[in-house]
Homo-oligomer: A and B are copies of this chain.
């Protein structure tokens, strides 16, 4: 048994292939590269039971991940997050079988840790010593911290409006941190110049091929946690869309292995009404999205006006007969509060958008009676303290309180 059954990199646009022992970024045609594995060998040599007997982190799927030598694995115990049943919320929405995959329970508090763990590990394996990336905050935090653990220097550029807590994470990791008075697209241009001038490894979304492999483990785990029966619908808050592409890739890979059977779940891309390029493209039945001008939403993680992998996201929606839907900020915040009150989960606004989408899709009949529905909560609510507005009475030391409100 090998640690990884990785085979090669390939371009989903032009079909070009690349080896996995050298550093690669985009394909020469400009498209993102994807990882392929030795499926025949894998099918013969790896069983579901081998995987499920292992430790509860994403590395239990190491044969399906790109890192070839175990010693290169950089881990903080990320993955195998809980799939939480949401019965009270489900009742409130009329969705009997409702689940949350809670990505708040990983290092750095968001799903970005999965991509960073696998991406940084593989970067170490191919000899990277300095990387750079633009970020809306959470990805930069995760990559800076995992890079620190790997002994790789990192340069992170984020908008001044990105969540303050993510600055602190990048700073304490010892990364080179810059703020830009603009959007993530402006940060991307600055990183692009630095990569060229200083010979850095470009860890921007989909500009290196391995982050998506980390994120696909969300799909692998959902299948495992549902006893290898796929749900009917999976909803994903979609900015760059790598999580959704990853889940789609994962489920297809599990089908190749024969570990799951039947139709794939209908995948749903959830965006904010203030930044919904994928939704627009899907409604117009297009294969690619257009840049969304003046994008704005408090769900910072999905404020991505044009995603490099938009064509892959749209392909996943079309192929699974899924859909794309936009939620406004006010509705997200209402749903976030409803979820906390009914289920005791304080989730991020992006995750709340996914649940608000379920509510709407059930009302319109797109989600049918009795279907099994999984929403990804992409991060912990504690990373977004400003989404909660409160007024609280302050008591003197010897004060007392009136009769408390019941539920």
| Interchain CB contact (< 8 A) of A149 among B167, B344, B401 | B344
Chain A 147-176 interface 0/1 with B at a Cβ cutoff of 8 Å (1 = within): 111111101010010001101110111101
User: Given the complex of chains A and B, what is the CA–CA distance between A229 and B257 in angstroms?
Assistant: 37
Judge whether A173 and B346 touch: CB under 8 Å.
yes
What residues on B are CB-neighbors of A406 within 8 Å?
129-130, 153
Is A94 interfacial (CB 8 A cutoff)? no
Is A336 interfacial (CB 8 A cutoff)? yes
Judge whether B168 and A388 touch: CB under 8 Å.
yes
User: Given the complex of chains A and B, what is the CA–CA distance between A115 and B223 in angstroms?
Assistant: 30
Interface size (A, Cβ < 8 Å)?
89
Q: For the complex, would chain A's binding face be called helix, strand, loop or mixed by DSSP majority?
A: mixed
Judge whether A395 and B178 touch: CB under 8 Å.
yes
Binds B, one of A98-106, A275-283, A368-376: A98-106
What residues on B are CB-neighbors of A226 within 8 Å?
none
Judge whether A385 and B198 touch: CB under 8 Å.
no
Judge whether A105 and B108 touch: CB under 8 Å.
no
User: Given the complex of chains A and B, what is the CA–CA distance between A348 and B399 in angstroms?
Assistant: 31
- CB-CB nearest in chain B for A141: B346
User: Given the complex of chains A and B, what is the CA–CA distance between A11 and B96 in angstroms?
Assistant: 44
Is A301 interfacial (CB 8 A cutoff)? no
Binds B, one of A180-188, A240-248, A292-300: A180-188
User: Given the complex of chains A and B, what is the CA–CA distance between A342 and B194 in angstroms?
Assistant: 25
What residues on B are CB-neighbors of A346 within 8 Å?
108, 145, 168-169, 172-173
What residues on B are CB-neighbors of A190 within 8 Å?
395, 399-401
| Interchain CB contact (< 8 A) of A178 among B81, B104, B109, B393 | B393
- CB-CB nearest in chain B for A120: B344
Binds B, one of A72-80, A263-271, A313-321, A359-367: A72-80
Is A340 interfacial (CB 8 A cutoff)? yes
Is A200 interfacial (CB 8 A cutoff)? yes
Judge whether A157 and B107 touch: CB under 8 Å.
no
Chain B CB within 10 A, most for which of A81, A160, A345, A401: A401
- CB-CB nearest in chain B for A339: B172
- Least Cβ distance of A300 to chain B in Å? 15
Given the contacts A107-B105, A108-B382, A155-B401, A337 and B394 also touching, CB distance less than 8 Å: no
What residues on B are CB-neighbors of A169 within 8 Å?
346, 381-382, 388
- Least Cβ distance of A237 to chain B in Å? 19
User: Given the complex of chains A and B, what is the CA–CA distance between A83 and B76 in angstroms?
Assistant: 9
For the complex with contacts A107-B345, A382-B383, 15 further pairs of A-B residues with Cβ separation under 8 Å are A77-B83, A105-B107, A132-B404, A151-B407, A152-B407, A157-B395, A157-B401, A167-B390, A173-B341, A174-B407, A177-B392, A178-B399, A179-B394, A193-B400, A382-B382
30 contacts between A and B (CB under 8 A): A74-B344, A75-B84, A76-B82, A77-B84, A105-B107, A109-B380, A145-B344, A145-B346, A146-B344, A147-B344, A148-B340, A150-B344, A165-B385, A168-B385, A169-B346, A169-B381, A171-B388, A172-B341, A172-B346, A174-B340, A176-B401, A177-B390, A178-B392, A178-B393, A180-B399, A181-B394, A182-B396, A186-B397, A186-B398, A382-B382
